[in-house]
Structure 1
Amino acid sequence: METSYISATPFPCRFGFRILPRASASASLLRRWYPPSSLRCFASCDQQSLNMDRKMLIMGMGFVGQFFAHQLEQDGWEVSGTCTSATKKKKLEEMGFDALLFSSDDHDLDLGSILPLEYATHMLVSVPPVAGLGDPVLYRHQHLLQSRLICGNLQWLCYLSSTSVYGDCGGAWVNEDYPLNNLTESAKARLAAEDGWLDLGHSLGVSVQVMRLGGIYGPGRSALDTIIKQDSLTAGQRMRETRKYTSRVHVADICQALKASINKPSLGKIYNVVDDDPAPREEVFTFARTLVQEKWPDHIKQGTLPDDGESVIQKKITRGEKRVRNDRMKNELGVRLLHPTYKSGLQSIIESMDCPFESR
């Protein structure tokens, strides 16, 4: 079957992204997303032949994407996702997911062969931005994305951003309307990515929203895991130890917010997705250590987390100080947090953990 494409007039965008070429999809994915009765030329746009079941395409299937995909499949969704290496693809396939190789950095790949683009009813984007470019997928593939999606079934589009866009606010409480000043290059890239995906959603006439996530934790990725591994902290982790406030969110609550936004679609809303307790990192690790020592006595060395020098701990790091509000997420999406504080989240994680020391 030959595939034809429709050219499209570039839509207005504040960031002037451009496009380059495409990636590959498996035969099993083709059969799953394209039943024989509905295979067609992508350019026909014949809505009578489309399978309108709920189909989620996750661009960037990392920690959040995998957790969300598991939940969606339990709810009867068909889920496909992209990754950047053959190793990651194999791992995702072993987990039961349809995985597509796609790296926006590889100029030899082609976005045009990501087949679910036309048939996806929902699309979640979790691709890190690049300083100076914004979102790398939009930078290289914006016009092709629009021409592929405008003829498809897309109803809902969401971009996962970060509360880092607020920068240092001196510890103030900030909401989605807080003025953004003196931004770092990484924060500017995040904002460029946000605007790019919002512009694309508006041009397509679909529900589009941005989720600004706090520090993400969950099973296999939390202060508990750092304590259990007993590895030395990285320089960045040691610097963050001195922060007075850190907004965070359990991955299960991120999924709650995503599902709520699917049920209550918006045209361009931005939501902070964080818990109610922007506690200091040191406090979180102290609590995590206590939980581990209570459940598995004598396995953890006494004292604080290892570090490479007292001078680092004594140095006050103020960059990034803020407390992020989640009122809009609660009031407009109706989200009731499963884990409103880090204590609830870490307690739930350790209760589900098998002893990690048995194999040592």
Structure 2
Amino acid sequence: MTVMIFGCGYSGKAIGKAFAAAGFAVAGTVRTAEGAQALSAYNIKSFIFDGSGFSDTLLAALKDVTHLVQSIPPGRDQDPLLKLVAGRLAALCPKLEWIGYLSTVGVYGDHGGGWVDEETPGSPILGRSIERVDTEEAWAHEGRVAGVPVAALRLSGIYGPGRNAFVNLDRGSARRIIKRDQVFNRIRVEDIGAACLFLAERKLAGIYNVTDDEPCPPQDVVVEAARIMAVEAPPEIDFDTAEMTPMARSFYGANKRVSNARLRALGFQFAFPNYRISLAQMWNEDVWRG
């Protein structure tokens, strides 16, 4: 059994680790030779893929791939991988049994802090989220044509070792921005890997929210991390007057609580169901730096 992870970055490495622990051979793509060298530390066989085409070595490797994970975000001209495999997925990957597409809870748009689940119609307010909806549907279509189940994993804000409030506090870059009634979900990167493996081993298709149990104001996470570190939390900053990039400010435009009930009903158990458990584990096991 071989999994190929296209766009093997932060989440992709965690997915690779989970699949390797289950006995899979793991391969992944990166854009540069430097990236390929970095993957070797994770025991992931690397291939260079910049979206323009498949190398001969990558084409040969695809013949043995049983599970494919697409983590590369869509660009202005559609998903770069989808453009290359459309209509010939079965020919390129004759042993393929399952596809996982990493999407985002951003596809739900703004719901005024209300709960959403996989049955909630998508109403994205940002261009990149609109592209995700279209790409989810396109991958599902390709799966049907090839006779392969496709699961779309809608991820909330990704964090974990090396990317967390401890790191931001340590760098002096943590900010406690306050926007009234604003909440976010988040997801520990190891739970992304575990959820992907869970769906792959069962060859499940459809849409799944991969997110924690407890949406909360973002400043609460900063305060908890500061408490654990025994440092002073940064001062509160009003959202309306905060200096932020347009990209950062845009995230606050979507206010919702995302349910993970569908995945839990299948029997999946999150190792890090809320930020308090997760922060405590990273600090106590000294893995927060990554």
Structure-1-length-normalised TM-score: 0.72
- In the alignment, does 2:61 pair up with 1:129? no
Q: Return closer, same or farther for 1:59/1:183 CA change in 2, 3 Å cut-off.
A: same
Instruction: Give the counterpart of 2:101 among 156, 159, 183.
Output: 159
Q: Return closer, same or farther for 1:201/1:347 CA change in 2, 3 Å cut-off.
A: same
Amino acid at match of 2:21: Q
Amino acid at match of 2:86: Q
* Structure 1 counterpart of 2:82: 138
Q: Return closer, same or farther for 1:78/1:169 CA change in 2, 3 Å cut-off.
A: same
Instruction: Give the counterpart of 2:183 among 211, 227, 245.
Output: 245
* Larger CA Rg, structure 1 vs 2: 1
Instruction: Give the counterpart of 2:281 among 338, 348, 355.
Output: 348
Amino acid at match of 2:194: Q
* Structure 2 counterpart of 1:10: none
Instruction: Give the counterpart of 2:156 among 194, 214, 219.
Output: 214
Structure 1 residue runs without a partner (length 5+): 1-53, 294-299
Q: Return closer, same or farther for 1:283/1:119 CA change in 2, 3 Å cut-off.
A: same
Aligned-pair identity (%):
28
Q: Return closer, same or farther for 1:251/1:303 CA change in 2, 3 Å cut-off.
A: closer
Q: Return closer, same or farther for 1:140/1:77 CA change in 2, 3 Å cut-off.
A: closer
Q: What does 1:254-265 correspond to in 2, within 5 Å? A: 254-265=192-203
Instruction: Give the counterpart of 1:180 among 109, 122, 125.
Output: 122
Q: What does 1:1-360 correspond to in 2, within 5 Å? A: 54-104=1-51, 107=52, 109-110=53-54, 113-114=57-58, 115-131=60-76, 133-149=77-93, 152-181=94-123, 183-231=125-173, 244-266=182-204, 268-293=205-230, 300=231, 302-304=232-234, 311-312=241-242, 319-331=253-265, 333-353=266-286
Q: Provide the secondary structure at the position in 2 that maps to 1:119.
A: coil
Structure 2 residue runs without a partner (length 5+): 244-248
Cα distance, 1:257 vs structure 2: 1.5
Q: Following the alignment from structure 1 to structure 2, what is the Cα–Cα distance between the partners of residues 93 and 242?
A: 45
Q: Following the alignment from structure 1 to structure 2, what is the Cα–Cα distance between the partners of residues 137 and 222?
A: 30
Q: Provide the secondary structure at the position in 2 that maps to 1:224.
A: helix
Amino acid at match of 1:219: P
Cα distance, 1:219 vs structure 2: 1.2
Count, aligned residues: 284
Amino acid at match of 1:291: I
Q: Provide the secondary structure at the position in 2 that maps to 1:165.
A: helix
Between 177-186 and 114-123, report the one with greater CA deviation: 177-186
Amino acid at match of 1:327: A
Amino acid at match of 2:11: V
Q: Return closer, same or farther for 1:286/1:195 CA change in 2, 3 Å cut-off.
A: same
Please give the per-residue CA displacement for 1:238-285, whole angstroms capped at 9, x wherever unaligned. 77876711011112222221122123223x410001111001110011
Cα distance, 1:203 vs structure 2: 0.9
8 Å contact kept, 1:212–1:270: yes
8 Å contact kept, 1:122–1:155: yes
Q: Provide the secondary structure at the position in 1 that maps to 2:107.
A: helix
Cα distance, 1:137 vs structure 2: 1.8
Amino acid at match of 2:140: L
Amino acid at match of 1:134: Q
Q: Return closer, same or farther for 1:305/1:77 CA change in 2, 3 Å cut-off.
A: farther
Q: Following the alignment from structure 2 to structure 1, what is the Cα–Cα distance between the partners of residues 23 and 178?
A: 40
* Structure 1 counterpart of 2:246: none
Q: Return closer, same or farther for 1:143/1:204 CA change in 2, 3 Å cut-off.
A: closer
Q: Which structure shows the higher strand fraction?
A: 2
Q: Return closer, same or farther for 1:118/1:240 CA change in 2, 3 Å cut-off.
A: farther
Cα distance, 1:148 vs structure 2: 0.8
